[in-house]
Chain A
Amino acid sequence: MSTLRHAVADLGAGRFEYTASRRLGTWLLCCVGVTVLLTAISLLIGTTSIEDSLKWLLSPDAQSSVVLWQIRLPRTVGAWFAGALLGLAGAVAQGVFRNPLAEPYLLGTASGAALGVTICLMAADASVGGLALTGQIGVTGAACIGACAATLLTVTLSRGVLQTASLLLSGIVTAFLLSAVTSLLLLTKPEVWREMQTFLLGTTSFISWSSALLLGIVLCICIVPAVLLSRGLDALTLGEDTAQSLGLSLPWLRLTLLGVVALATSTSVGQVGIVGFVGLVAPHLVRETLSVNHRQLLIAAPLCGGALLQAADLVSRWIIRPAELPVGAVTACVGGSYLVFLLWRRSRDG
Chain B
Amino acid sequence: MFERACVIVALFLGAPAAPAAGFVMRDDLDRSVALAQYPQRIVTLLPSLTETICALGACGRLVATDRYSDWPPQVRALPKAGGIDDAEVELIVSVRPDLVLISRSQRITGRLTDLGLVSFALNTDSYPEIAHTVTVIGDILGLPERAKRLNESIGEAVHAISARAIARRHGHVPTVYFEVDGPPYAAGPSSYIGELLGLLGARNIVGADLGPFPSLNPEYVVRHDPDVIFVSPSEVAHVADRPGWDRIRAIREHRVCSFTPAVRDTVVRPGPRVAEGMQAIADCLAQVAP
Contacts and interface: CB of A to CB of B under 8 A. Distances in A.
Interface of A: 46-48, 62-63, 66-67, 70-72, 74-75, 121, 124-125, 131, 134-135, 138, 187-188, 190-191, 194-195, 198, 203, 205-209, 317, 321-326
A324 B186 CA distance: 12
B63 interface: no
Contacts of A72: 219
B75 to A, nearest CB: 17
A125 to B, nearest CB: 7
A71 B182 contact: no
Contacts of B215: 198, 323-326
B219 A71 contact: yes
Given A46-B219, A190-B84, A195-B182, A323 B210 contact: yes
Contact of A324 (B86, B216, B241): B216
Contacts of A208: 241-243
A143 to B, nearest CB: 14
Given A67-B244, A135-B234, A206-B243, A317 B217 contact: yes
A53 to B, nearest CB: 11
Given A71-B219, A124-B232, 13 more contacts: A66-B244, A75-B243, A124-B233, A134-B234, A190-B68, A195-B182, A195-B183, A205-B183, A205-B184, A205-B217, A205-B218, A207-B243, A209-B243
Contacts of B86: 187
Most buried by B among A63, A121, A203: A63
A66 B244 CA distance: 6
Contacts of A191: 261
Interface in B58-84: 67-68, 83-84
Interface stretch (B8-16, B32-40, B166-174, B220-228): B220-228
Contacts, number: 94
A207 B242 CA distance: 8
5 contacts: A47-B223, A63-B247, A67-B223, A188-B67, A322-B214
A195 B244 contact: no
B180 interface: yes
Contacts of A67: 219, 222-223, 244
B238 interface: yes
B237 interface: yes
A188 B223 CA distance: 37
Contacts of A75: 243
A198 B219 contact: no
Chain B, interface SS category: loop
B222 A66 contact: yes
A155 B90 CA distance: 40
B156 interface: no
Contact of A322 (B67, B185, B210, B233): B210
Nearest to A322: B220
A71 B181 contact: no
A72 B244 CA distance: 10
A262 B214 CA distance: 33
Given A63-B223, A323-B210, A47 B243 contact: no
A195 B181 contact: yes
Contact of A135 (B183, B219, B222, B237): B237
Nearest to A316: B217
Nearest to A207: B243
Closest 9 CB pairs of A and B: A124-B234, A194-B181, A323-B214, A208-B243, A70-B244, A322-B220, A66-B244, A47-B220, A71-B244
Contacts of B237: 135
B38 to A, nearest CB: 32
A224 to B, nearest CB: 29
A321 B217 contact: yes
A323 B221 CA distance: 11
Nearest to B211: A323
Interface string B253-281: 00000000100000000000000000000
A191 B261 CA distance: 10
A125 B262 CA distance: 11
A121 B234 contact: yes
A125 B234 CA distance: 7
B183 A203 contact: yes
Nearest to B241: A208
A270 to B, nearest CB: 14
B211 to A, nearest CB: 8
Contact of A198 (B183, B214, B222): B183
A48 B224 CA distance: 11
Nearest to A318: B217
Contacts of A205: 183-184, 217-218
Contacts of A325: 215
Contacts of B185: 194, 198
Contacts of A326: 215
A205 to B, nearest CB: 5
